[in-house]
A and B are shown apart, each in its own frame.
Chain A
């Protein structure tokens, strides 16, 4: 009886479940076993945790980890904050033609990443880039953005923020609109100014949204790949923009060390896992009025 009762819903979700199982779950498990072998062009044999030991000693891997942390820990707060700021601006009654701005800010999110990368490469061009031209109006000498190891990562972070803040903005907008007006009305009656009501009503009630945005952005930023792939010739200069995923790609698809690449994937997986857990801890203490 109960089997029959539940079989219909299962039938409905079966297509996506089967696809998920075959194309997602099995490869994930298979990749773990692959990471325990030296699978490459010459076949595969079991090496235990040899790949992980090698990773721990690999200076390029630690370099790529450092770069990825740099990108994530500078990029995520900046892009979440700018998303929040624009969402609050667009939600206020001060701004006109909101739809235009909302669409405009969201446009980079849906634009092809490769196209963005190519255009930004031109903007950053050390000889005739628009950014150089703009800075020179104010007599600031422009660095060789993508050619200087010190500036290449900030340049990539800037471009990533431009591309991603629209996404967090839209989610924040939804979160803001879900806060009932009556809280603000009550606050006004109690004599709170707009800053205080932002601090005590908006921010706490946006907490679940903020956590969600942070997790999604962090996961996305940890997987930094296309930007350096397109903009800095796969991680240059001097590997200052070599990210973990780029290093994984190089090992897997240029050097054909599938086992080693799988091990990198698993390290990245655990990193993202740990950071998502940490962020989720904050949501536990939710605020309800």
Chain B
């Protein structure tokens, strides 16, 4: 009998909590951003007293699986942070709400306010399934002092210059074939980096409608060959990159250049403060273009959400210029809204580089099969770098196998 009373009381308490007025939104945010976003939510709730937001922060490593299961199990949140490459996948599973209707009525969120490359990661055909939240892009990090030492007072601006800087940088004093100083760190298995070189050469890996691979494009081949030549000439270390402590290598000058994203700025200040002021960032060296890769995160509303209007108000809130700047201050995530870049805080040279690079940046192909294609590129690129296969053979196989992947339903 007493138990029953207890249960009744518990039930009353639990249901009592639910009778708050207004709408409750659930929001899934990844990694440490899940903590940091609480500041933004407090101010949002102050301005919109009829909406309350429940944040759930998910570790990046589980995020994808968790989202998949929630889509299949029908337990999706109202809003979720999605990696740019995930939007096509979840949109193709018919899990995301189309935002075209909201966009037409909105004064805050407009296509032209965002970087083109970033906006494209949200569109399937001409329908919009997400709004850019923050962006990232890859640029060149280099040691100013070491480059000056070998006679360059500016970062390499073209492919040719990149090569000659690298040749000047590499140092093998004892002539044992293992340099004491390499020139640049290039990953042997990262499709994103090679993709940027392909774009820079004016080539591509897929046709504009993503239906056929174009590894037989001579410009694509040129980029692959250029990339691999860094390993062949001993300018970049082969294979060592997996367990390499990049910060240490950058500090000692073992690797005076590398290509990476905005997160490195804070990490470098944090891990190797000794070399503050001796390094800088630069836009990528140009061939035909200096195109980089654009990534970052978008905010999407799930189709099953019952509070889509409220969810849209939150997305609008996060897209306002002052909130984009505030978010940058909280996390260092780069604003996706172009006008935010005119503000003072972003006008530091190291960060401004990213703003400039974002003008010429493209997303990875927005198709669900990209993951599989990416894996294939990495497999064959690695085989060429390790001299297990010739370039022509690898590109031929890539062409054939990616064709097969794309022809599958």
Contact = CB atoms under 8 A, between A and B. Distances in A.
Contacts of A237: 188-189, 239, 242, 382, 386
Contacts of B146: none
Interface string A267-284: 000000000000000000
A198 interface: no
A233 B368 contact: no
A124 B239 CA distance: 14
A149 interface: yes
B65 A253 contact: yes
B243 A125 contact: yes
A287 to B, nearest CB: 49
Contacts of B243: 121, 124-127, 146-147
Contacts of B92: 41-42
B371 A147 contact: no
A4 B142 CA distance: 81
Interface residues of A, number: 30
Interface string B200-244: 000000000000000000000000000000000000000111111
Interface string A117-135: 0000100111110000000
Given A41-B92, A237-B386, A144 B240 contact: yes
Interface in A230-266: 232-233, 236-239, 250, 253-257
B368 A256 contact: yes
A236 B372 CA distance: 16
B408 interface: yes
Contact of B375 (A45, A147, A255): A255
Interface residues of B, number: 26
Interface string A44-79: 010000000000000010000000000000000000
B403 to A, nearest CB: 14
B89 A233 contact: no
Given A121-B243, A232-B242, A237-B242, A255 B371 contact: yes
A38 B408 contact: yes
Given A38-B409, A237-B382, A255-B375, A147 B242 contact: yes
A277 to B, nearest CB: 34
B213 to A, nearest CB: 16
B383 interface: yes
B375 A254 contact: yes
16 contacts: A40-B409, A41-B93, A41-B368, A42-B409, A43-B409, A124-B243, A126-B240, A126-B244, A127-B244, A147-B243, A233-B189, A236-B189, A238-B382, A238-B383, A253-B65, A254-B375
Interface of A: 38, 40-43, 45, 60, 121, 124-128, 144, 146-149, 232-233, 236-239, 250, 253-257
Given A149-B388, A250-B375, 10 more contacts: A38-B408, A41-B368, A60-B379, A127-B245, A144-B240, A236-B382, A237-B239, A239-B382, A255-B375, A257-B372
